[in-house]
Structure 1
Amino acid sequence: MTEHLPYGSWPSPLTAEAVASASPRIEGARFVGGEVWWGETIPGEGGRTSVRRRTASGDVDDLLPSPHSARSRVHEYGGGAWTAADDGRLFFVEKADQRVWLREPGGQLRALTPETVDTRFGGLSWQQGVLLAIRESHEAPGGERAIPQRDIVRIGVGEKIEITCVASGSDFVAQPALSPGGRMLAWIAWDHPDMPWDRAELRVGALQDGVVREWTTVAGADSSALQPVWAGADELLYADDPTGRWNLWRAQVPAPTAHPIESHHVQSADADTGGPLWVLGAKWFAHLEDGRILAVRTQGSDDLVVIGPDGVISLLAAPPTSGITVEDVRGTRVLIAGAGVDAPPGLWEIDLDRPTEISLVRGGESPWGADWMPHPRALSTPGPRGPVHAFAYPPTNPHVAGPEDELPPYIVFVHGGPTAHVGGAASDRIAYFTSRGIGVLDVNYGGSSGYGREYRERLRGQWGIVDVEDVAAAARGLAAEGFADPARIAIDGGSAGGWTVLAAVANTDVFAAGISRYGVGDARALAADTHDFEARYLDGLIGPLPEAEDVYIERSPLTHPERFTVPLLLLQGADDAVVPPAQSESIRDALAARGVPHAYVLYEGEGHGFRQAKTLVHAYQTQLAFLGAVLGFEPDDVAPLRLD
């Protein structure tokens, strides 16, 4: 029998402790011999990333025991922190020293790169018996800090430490790919002030004594090329968006200095095969030995398609429908990661010759059952500058419903980036709130990826304007349809999403409260303090400095402390190098000076994004208690939160 209780007070088995450890965070996966290996973040062990394997017998064990952690700090966001050879050798970037290490099949460890003041490695890949990596050096003569220098390097795996620069010549490099036989190297390159989703080049060069001395631009002069993959000795596949969508292209490269290099569409689609290159290990398609291509296509949610050598396309039915990455391919077997409508984040193995036989490797199942997972509803709401895309998750509890005369409170989620994307998928984090009677609206505001370049560039020069207009329009639209109590809508976001939270509560009357996780309050301070990867990001989002300084001042929420009138919760990592604690602390001080109810929590040992179990648990409980305090309900299983 269904019990009727006030929204927000519903009892739920989804405790903060359980949610913090429920869904694994997959950090790359690959076939190694007859086994499947994957990286996995372990919140209960300080948020370290281990590398695990599933043997042919089905057993699972750790290859990288505590306290080791495979995590790169290249670009601060890392990616590609481990790879492996088929003989069982594991190569990984150790978080503590950023050196590349080798773990032998017997467990012995040996450093492959020297100890330095601040040189980092990431984007590791084992190709044709060669270990390639992206090197990022922050050192200058005399040990001074410097503008980081990046190059593609070959790392020797013998007893002697040996590192060779293979390719450089730009501010940023990524995704190196050796041609069959090792005659040529393809890679992605871009320079300040562009971000890789603004403009990035696909370059190809001949290897002479293992080094590229000359290179040719294949694609990307006015677009954003991604992920070169060799389909033959002189045939290259890649993603690019000259048409406004990241589609697959094919180039014939008979010689790396040939001009012009012929390229043509593999398939034209009103969807994206590709996404923002925030981390170095992301892959959106794979080429099979028989000529087929497995590709992700994103238009809001994700589809997987198989493109035959004859161009015939077939849809591959698979559990994940959001955030899909194609991790590895071996023969006709593929590894894919992502999340689905009924499947929390996980890793699956699929044989494309037997596509109905899908093997779950890790995650992908809710420990509470599907009844507790809210089903997303895709929404498109009219906004001031065009449609605003979002996914709504209603309060969902198989045993409880709300009063018939009451509308539920909602929390609007604002993703970070801001060049990023959310899909409609099962999420333990979302279910933590919906199972208690709090709806969630996850918004892909203008500037988000997943809807093409035009939608992505809606935010160009308009950060703090378009994103605020869009989250407000989405929230108003949900309330106008009768799904949410308009007086009890809160907003939550991290990083760039935190900026939108602060700007939205300061500049609209839509939201009753805000939660900012390591959010930006002062755009000028961010431009001055942030790391090199994003050092010129704001040129495109707001404008170049010093010419646009007045715009930075006007847009920054901290410029207008008198506009903060609703309660705010601020959560911050003490070791955050992307958005330093000073940003949140300045907001805290402004709220205190004006007597606005607020709470500030600083988490020691956390950076940009929370990984440790104790942090995640406390953050979940604090957010729920805050919502109860400001939206007028009593959560079932958390202590009240005192606001300053």
Structure 2
Amino acid sequence: MVRTLPYGAWPSPVDAALAAAHGGQPEAVGFVGEEAWWTEPRPAEGGRRTLVRRTADGREVSVLPPPWNVRSRVMEYGGRPWAGAMRPEGPLVVFVHFADQRLYAYEPTAPDSRPRPLTPLSPVGGGLRWVDPRLHLERGEVWCVLEEFTGDGPTDVRRVPAAVPLDGSAAEDRDGVRELTDARHRFVTGPRLSPDGRRAAWLAWDHPRMPWDGTELLVAEVTGEGTLREPRTVAGGPEESIAQAEWAPDGSLLYVSDRTGWWNLYRDGTPLCPREEEFGGPLWKVGLQWFAPLDDGTVAVVHGRGAGRLGILDPVGGEVVDVAGPWTEFAATLAVHGSRVVAVGAGPRTAYEVVELDAATGHARVIGAAHEDPVDPAFYPEPRIRTFTGPGGREVHAHIHPPRHPEYAAPEGAPPPYVVWAHGGPTSRAPLVLDLEIAYFTSRGIGVAEVNYGGSTGYGRAYRDRLRGQWGVVDVEDCAAVALALADEGTADRDRLAVRGGSAGGWTAAASLTSTDVYACGTIVYPVLDLASWGSGGTHDFESQYLETLVGAYAEVPGRYFERSPVEHADRITVPFLLLQGLEDPICPPAQCERFLARLQGRRIPHAYLAFEGEGHGFRRAETMVRALEAELSLYAQVFGLNPPGIPTLELTE
């Protein structure tokens, strides 16, 4: 029997601790011999990431105990942090340890083996960092990307493809690291060797471009001594984004380019499957992989419009056969071995899990991080994919998660409160997957609307280019359009709308509160708040000139930086808000939050500021995630007049 209780008062088994325990996802899949390996989060262990192997008998074994943390800080967002190979005496892996960013080698089955450093420390700035390693046992080296700080400033940095000796001779000697090219480009990916070892290919780009604006695909011959000759550009440019490049077994070069307005797959310049959908995405992390060539000439691909499905592409006919199963979204990580394809997939009822596809038979199965429902799935939301109409008639894509509970319903005729979620990036996208943070709200009677506003990826270049010069306008308008449309149709309560977001989504949330009257409150998480300072040494090197495209060149439009910055208009906020910040965040430093709050003094606006020691950009510790989630729910409860049982009250100050 379904009982009646007001929205927000429904008891739910999806508590904050449960949501925190299921935060994060497997990443960086790979093969070590016949075995599939990947990295996996451990929120209860200080937020570290461990390396997991699936043994021949089907067991999942954590390769590295605490405090080892397999995670790179190159470009701050990191990227692929490990590589491995199987030798007669057992597996050898190299990995980046987060605490010191050194590259380590480890033989997990050798007696009394411990990780041994391959690279030195540096006292300069952020030191030496490594990402996207590839093992070349025949050369006795690891080829990867070296990020080297040359001073104490966040932009005092150079990046270059490099070779690190496996014998440990460079562990205390920076000169022992062999740079493969000069540092002519600001940003590079790891070099990929052709099957015959005679050529190397990698991607490069320079400020002020971001990799989704324009990149170059470089190819160079490899000398007998293992150095690279003068590279030549074979694809890409200032207005063409190459997202990934790999050599096929036959020696041809495959790459993903958006030259037609969609990231499509090419072989030596010839399109293999021209479609108005994406076969690539934004290169936020070095080593992301949307395709992987198989030995038989086919290609495993993650592709789609608005969602990434896993399929096998036959280049001869240009047809793609997608994997069958509950997974409707696959992450940008793939590995192949023979006819086996390993990927990370999820769906609206399934969290991210490691999936193996047999390309020969089409059979797919879960082999790691298997989803197990921690509560009755009746407490999960039933999301809807919708397209709304924004200003000027433009399309706005969103995922709507209505409140849902198997035992309770609200009084007849009462629309529920809704929270609009703005994703980060902003050149990113909200995937439609099971997220217990969303279920935390929906199972209590609060709806969630994830908005893939103009600028989001997955819908072609024209859609993501909508944000060029319009950050703080298009994203704010699109989120408001979805919120008001839900209210107008009776899906949401017009008087009980909230907005929340983290990073670039935190910017959108803050900008929404300072420039619209749509929302009754908001949650702002590790945000950008001050454009002028953030774009002039107030953030890391990778995004230090991002605003050139998002807002415009500061020298040309300084007024735009002032007019759109929430920190300059704190006096316009008239509703309560919650501000969450990691104190060790190099991307959106806490100084912006402090300036924002200082501008708010005397305004008597109820708010709370929670700053977390040991957290950076993106919360990783279970205790932090629990505190943040409960605080957010308490804010909505106080503003919307809800009564969620068992939630600590967040103290709001004025």
What is the TM-score normalised by the length of structure 1?
0.95
Aligned to 2:415: 407
Are 1:202 and 2:217 counterparts? yes
Identify which range, 523-532 or 225-234, moves more after superposition: 225-234
- 1:525-583 per-position Cα deviation (integer Å, ceiling 9, x unaligned): 11121111001100000111222211101111122222100111000000001010011
CA displacement 1:167-225 (0-9 Å, x = unmatched): 34201001421101211000010000000000001110101221222111111113001
8 Å Cα contact 1:175-1:227 kept in structure 2: no
Deviation at 1:128, TM superposition (A): 6.3
1:425-458 Cα deviation digits (max 9, x unpaired): 2111111111111110000001111101000000
Q: Percent of aligned positions with the same letter in both sequences? A: 43
| 1:230 aligned onto 2:247 | yes
* Aligned residue runs from structure 1 range 461-610, under 5 A: 461-528=469-536, 529-610=538-619
Letter of the aligned partner of 2:300 in structure 1?
A: L
Q: Secondary structure at the match of 2:631?
A: helix
Q: Partner letter of residue 203 of structure 1?
A: L
Change in Cα spacing, 1:146 to 1:370, as seen in structure 2 (3 Å) is closer
Q: Find the partner of 1:444 among 428, 437, 452.
A: 452
**What secondary structure is seen at the aligned counterpart in 1 of 2:629?**
helix
Tell whether the 8 Å contact from 1:239 to 1:246 is kept in structure 2 after alignment.
yes
Shift of residue 267 of structure 1? 0.8
C-alpha contact 2:424 2:504 (8 A) present in aligned 1: yes
**In the alignment, structure 1 residue 321 sits paired with structure 2 residue 337:** no
Supply the distance in 2 between the matched residues of 1:47 and 1:182 (Cα, whole angstroms).
39
5 Å-filtered alignment, 1:298-317, equals 298-311=304-317, 312-317=319-324
Alpha-carbon distance between aligned partners in 2 of 1:398 and 1:581, rounded to the nearest angstrom: 41
Deviates more, 1:295-304 or 1:626-635: 295-304
1:603-622 equivalent positions in 2, closer than 5 A? 603-622=612-631
Which of 383, 389, 397 pairs up with 1:382? 389
In 2 relative to 1, CA 287–127 (structure 1 residues): closer, same or farther, beyond 3 Å?
A: farther
Q: Which moved more, 1:55-64 or 1:200-209?
A: 55-64
Picking from 202, 208, 227, the partner of 1:193 is 208
Counterpart code for 2:265: L
SS at match of 2:272: strand
Q: 2:639 is aligned with what amino acid? A: V
Secondary structure at 1:294 match in 2: strand
Matched residue, 1:640: 649
Deviation, structure 1 residue 416: 0.7
Q: Report the AA paired with residue 94 of structure 2.
A: F
Q: For the residues of structure 2 that align with 1:341 and 1:559, how far apart are their CA atoms?
A: 39
Once residues 40 and 571 of structure 1 are traced to their aligned partners in structure 2, the CA distance between those partners, rounded to angstroms, is 25
Segment drifting more, 606-615 vs 295-304: 295-304
Conservation of the 8 A alpha-carbon contact between 1:69 and 1:94? yes
The count of aligned residue pairs is 631
1:5 is displaced (CA, Å) by: 0.9
Which whole-Å deviations, capped at 9, do the CAs of 1:249-292 have from their partners, x for residues lacking one? 010xxxxxxxxxxx110111111111111111311111110111
1:92 aligned partner, one-letter code:
F
Q: 2:148 aligns with which of 131, 134, 137?
A: 137
CA contact (8 A) 1:322 1:338 kept: yes
Structure 1: segments with no counterpart, 5+ residues:
252-262
Once the 2 structures are TM-superposed, how far is the Cα of residue 127 of structure 1 from its aligned partner?
A: 4.9
What SS class does the counterpart of residue 344 from structure 1 fall into? strand
Aligned amino acid, residue 491 of structure 2: F
Q: Is the 8 A contact 2:249 2:293 kept in 1?
A: no
Shift of the 84–495 alpha-carbon distance from structure 1 to 2, 3 Å rule, reads same
Alignment of 1:250 onto 2:264: no
Which residue is 1:11 aligned to?
Answer: 11
Deviates more, 1:607-616 or 1:315-324: 315-324
Write the distance in 2 (CA, Å) between the matches of 1:432 and 1:502.
23
Distance 1:126 1:375, change over 3 A: farther
Q: Is the 8 A contact 1:166 1:211 kept in 2?
A: yes
Q: Which moved more, 1:53-62 or 1:389-398?
A: 53-62
Could you tell me how far 1:405 is from its partner in structure 2?
Answer: 2.6
Is the CA contact (8 Å cut-off) linking 2:155 and 2:541 kept in structure 1? no
1:375/1:426 contact within 8 Å kept: no
Pick one of 617, 623, 627 that aligns with 2:632: 623
- 1:257 is matched with which residue? none
Contact 1:304 1:318 in 2 (8 A): no
For residues 636 and 501 of structure 1, the distance between their equivalents in structure 2, rounded to whole angstroms, comes to 27
Aligned equivalent of 2:173: none
Work out which of the residue numbers 112, 118, 129 in structure 2 matches 1:120: 129
Q: In the alignment, which residue of structure 2 is the partner of 1:291?
A: 297
Q: CA deviation at 1:43?
A: 0.6
Cα shift at 1:37: 1.4
Q: CA deviation at 1:370?
A: 2.6
SS of the aligned residue for 2:420 comes to strand
Match of 1:362 among 369, 381, 393: 369
Give the whole-Å Cα distance in 2 for the aligned partners of 1:298 and 1:572.
34
Q: Are residues 1:53 and 2:53 paired?
A: yes
Normalising by structure 2, we get a TM-score of 0.94
Structure 2 portions without partners, runs of 5+: 171-175
> Contact conserved, 1:81 with 1:124, CA < 8 A, in 2?
yes
Contact 1:412 1:440 in 2 (8 A): yes
Aligned equivalent of 2:105:
102
Q: Which residue matches 1:423?
A: 431
Q: How far apart, in 1, do the equivalents of 2:153 and 2:514 lie?
A: 41
1:606-635 Cα shifts (integer Å, max 9, x gaps)? 001100111011111111111111111011
SS of 1:532's equivalent?
coil
- How far apart are the structure 1 equivalents of 2:154 and 2:588? 19
| Residues in 2 aligned to 1:112 and 1:318: alpha-carbon distance in whole angstroms | 42
Contact 2:310 2:330 in 1 (8 A): no
Does structure 2 retain, via aligned residues, the 8 Å contact 1:304–1:316? yes
Distance in 2 of aligned mates of 1:89 and 1:113? 16
Once the 2 structures are TM-superposed, how far is the Cα of residue 354 of structure 1 from its aligned partner? 2.7
Regions of 4+ moved over 4 Å: 127-130, 143-146
Aligned mates of 2:576, 2:134 — CA distance in 1: 47
Counterpart in the other structure of 2:40? 40
1:482-521 Cα offsets, whole Å, 9 max, x none, are 1111111100000111111111111111111110001111
Q: Is the 8 A contact 1:102 1:112 kept in 2?
A: yes
Corresponding residue for 1:170?
185
1:233 is displaced (CA, Å) by 5.1
Instruction: Give the 3-state SS of the residue equivalent to 1:214 in structure 2.
Output: coil
| Structure-2 residue corresponding to 1:211 | 227
Aligned equivalents of 1:230, 1:131: Cα separation in 2: 18
Give distance in 2, aligned partners of 1:127 and 1:533. 28
Does the Cα contact within 8 Å between 2:272 and 2:315 map onto a contact in 1? no
- Cα drift, residue 109 of structure 1: 1.8
Alpha-carbon shift at residue 356 of structure 1 (Å): 3.3
* Shift in alpha-carbon separation, 1:145–1:456, aligned structure 2, 3 A: closer
Aligned-residue offset at 1:478: 1.3
Deviation at 1:23, TM superposition (A): 4.7
Secondary structure in 1 matching 2:454: coil
Distance in 2, Cα, partners of 1:232 & 1:334? 15
Residue-by-residue CA offset, 1:359-393 (whole Å, 9 max, x unaligned): 34114333224322212211111111411110000
Distance of 2:23 and 2:604 partners within structure 1: 39
SS of alignment partner, residue 134 of structure 1: strand
Q: Which moved more, 1:626-635 or 1:24-33?
A: 24-33
Partner of 2:270: 264
Q: Distance in 1 between matches of 2:286 and 2:644?
A: 40
**Any idea what SS the aligned residue of 1:249 has?**
strand
Matched, 1:155 2:164: yes
Cα deviation digits, residues 71-123 of structure 1 (max 9, x gap): 11100000111111123112111111111011123232211011212111112
